[in-house]
Amino acid sequence: MPDTPIRGLPPGPPLRLLQTVSYLRDPYRMLRSVARRYGSLFTVRTARLCVVTGRPELVRQIINAPVDQYGVNFEPGPARVLGTSGTTRLAGRELRRDRRLLVPHFQGDALSPLGGMIRDCALDAFRPLAPGESFVVRDIALTIALDVILRTMFGADTPQRLQDFREAVRAFSEGFGAPSFLLLAALGCDDDRWPPFRRFAIARRRLEQLLQEAMERARNADAPRDCAILDRVIAARYDDGAPMSDVAIRDNMITALIAGHETSVVSLCWGLYWLHREPRRLELLIDELAPLGPDADPLDYTRLPFLDAVVKETLRLWPVVTDINRVLAQPMELGGYELPAGTNIAATSAVLHYEPDLYPDAESFRPERFLERRFATHEYMPFGGGERMCPGSHYAVFELKIVLAALLTRARFTLLDDGEMKPRRMGGMMTPATGVRLRYDGPR
C-alpha cells in the first residue's frame, strides 16, 4: 500500500454492458473473476461505478466505519422492489431506531413458538411423495418456504389466504426476477412505460393490498399471536411510545417476505445437493440426528453442532447477500485509495468466502472447517454485516436447520444429478441449475 493515498478509483474492467450482463448472469463467478485479474480491491462498472473488495481487513473497515460515514443509496431499482420506507432506505439514527424495533422479532426466544409450524410445513410438502418417486427440490422448497413465511410471519391461517398470498408473491417474484426487469434496473432505467416495470407495479400493488388486509386483521385481534411476526411488529413501540407507520411496516414485511422465501429455497436446494453429493458428510449428520429421532422438540435440532456447521458451509459457498453496498457520505481512505464522498463501495462475500488463507480448498464442501475455528464477522458474512446486516438472518438459519432435520430424520434420498452443479439465477439469487433432482427412497 503506498504511503500517500492514490486519488481516483482502483482498476477494473472497462466495458459497462458486458459487466452488467455478466453480473446478472452470475455475480459470484463474475466478481471472483475480476478479483483474480485486478486484485482484491477493484472497480466494477454496471449502472454505476462501485469500488469492491473481498479482502478481510478492508471488509472489516467497511462494516466497522462510523455511522455517519455512509449515506442512503437512492437507486431506483431497489426502491421499486422494496419500497421507500423500509430499513433498506434508512441510515444513521433512523436506521438504528427501526432495527431496534424489528430485529428482536426475528431472533432468540421470539423464534421458539415457530419451530413446530416450520416442521409441519416441511412434512406437509413431502408427504405426497411415494417411494421411488423422483422430484425437483426447488419445486418442493418453494412450497415449504412460502408456507413457512406466510404462516409464521403473517399468520395466514386459512387455505384461501394462503393461496392469495402464494399467487401474489409468485407474480411479484417473477416480475422482478425477469431478465428484462433486471437488465433495465441494472442500467438505471426508471419508467413505468417499460412493460416489465408496468407488470411489476401491478404485482406489487396486489401484494400491498393483501398486506394491508393482514395488518387490519392483526389490529382487530384480541391480542398479538406468538406465531405471527406481523402481529408483534404492529404491537411494538419506539422508545417514545409511537408505532411504526403502516407504510414502513409494509415495506419491511415485503423485504422480509421476498428475501426470506428466496433465501430458504436456494439454501435448502444447495444444502441437500451438497449433502447427497458428499455421502460421508451426510452420514455424519444422520449420526448426529439419530439420537434425537424424528419427533424431538425442533429447538433441540437447532443446537446440534454438525448441523450448524452444515448450514454455515452451505451459506459460505452460496451466501444470501452477495455484496454489502454503501455510498460514502464522507471521503474514505480504503486500501491505499482516497475515495471521495458519493462513491459507491461494496464488500463482497462472493470473494471473501473463497479467500484461500481463510478457507483452504474453498471450492469444496467442508462443514468441518466451522468446527475447527470461529470466523469473525469480517471473515464470514452470508447475511451481510454492520448496521445493515439482514434482520432475518437468525430466522433463516433457524428455519433451514429444522427443515433439514425434519426431512433427513424421516426419509432417504438419492441424488440424480451427475457432475458439477451449475448455478442459475432465480430472482435475486443463484439457485442450482436443475433445481436439484432427488429420488425419494422411502422412510429412514
Task: Give per-residue pLDDT as tens, 69-115.
Answer: 988 765 655 667 777 788 877 777 888 899 999 999 899 888 999 99
172 vs 260: CA distance, rounded Å: 14
Q: What is the pLDDT of residue 321?
A: 80
273 vs 282: CA distance, rounded Å: 10
Q: What is the pLDDT of residue 352?
A: 98
Q: What is the pLDDT of residue 174?
A: 85
SS3 at position 93: helix
- Does residue 86 sit within a domain? yes
Q: Measured in Å, how far apart are the chain's first and last C-alpha atoms? A: 57
Q: Long-range contacts made by residues 216-221, C-beta under 8 angstroms, separation at least 24?
A: 218/155
Q: What is the pLDDT of residue 428?
A: 66
At 392, which amino acid appears? G
Closest CA to 291 of 303, 273, 274: 303
5 vs 206: CA distance, rounded Å: 51
Q: What is the pLDDT of residue 78?
A: 67
- Does residue 78 sit within a domain? yes
- Does residue 180 sit within a domain? yes
Q: What is the pLDDT of residue 147?
A: 92
Query: What CATH number has the domain bearing residue 344?
Result: 1.10.630.10
- Does residue 82 sit within a domain? yes
**Stated pTM of the model:** 0.91
Q: What is the pLDDT of residue 260?
A: 82
- Does residue 1 sit within a domain? no
Q: Can you list the alpha helix ranges (DSSP code H) found in 15-128?
A: 16-25, 27-38, 56-64, 76-82, 92-102, 115-126
At 27, which amino acid appears? P
Q: How deeply is 374 buried, as exposed, middle or buried, from its count of CB atoms within 10 A (0-12, 13-18, 19+)?
A: exposed
> Could you write out the DSSP letters of every residue in 42-58?
EEEESSSEEEEE--HHH
Express each pLDDT in 382-408 by its tens digit. 998 888 888 899 999 999 999 999 999
Q: How far is CA 380 from the centre of its chain?
A: 14
127 vs 411: CA distance, rounded Å: 10
Low-confidence ranges of the chain (pLDDT < 50): none
For the chain, state the CA radius of gyration.
22
The one-character DSSP state at 381 is: -
- Does residue 18 sit within a domain? yes
Q: What is the pLDDT of residue 3?
A: 60
Q: What is the pLDDT of residue 137?
A: 97
The one-character DSSP state at 7 is: E
402 vs 436: CA distance, rounded Å: 20
Q: Which domain holds residue 354?
A: 6-443
Helix (H) or strand (E) holding 346: strand 344-348
397 vs 320: CA distance, rounded Å: 11
- Does residue 413 sit within a domain? yes
SS3 at position 201: helix
Q: Which three cell numbers stand for residue 246?
A: 403502516
Count of domains forming the chain? 1
- Does residue 228 sit within a domain? yes
Q: What is the pLDDT of residue 262?
A: 83
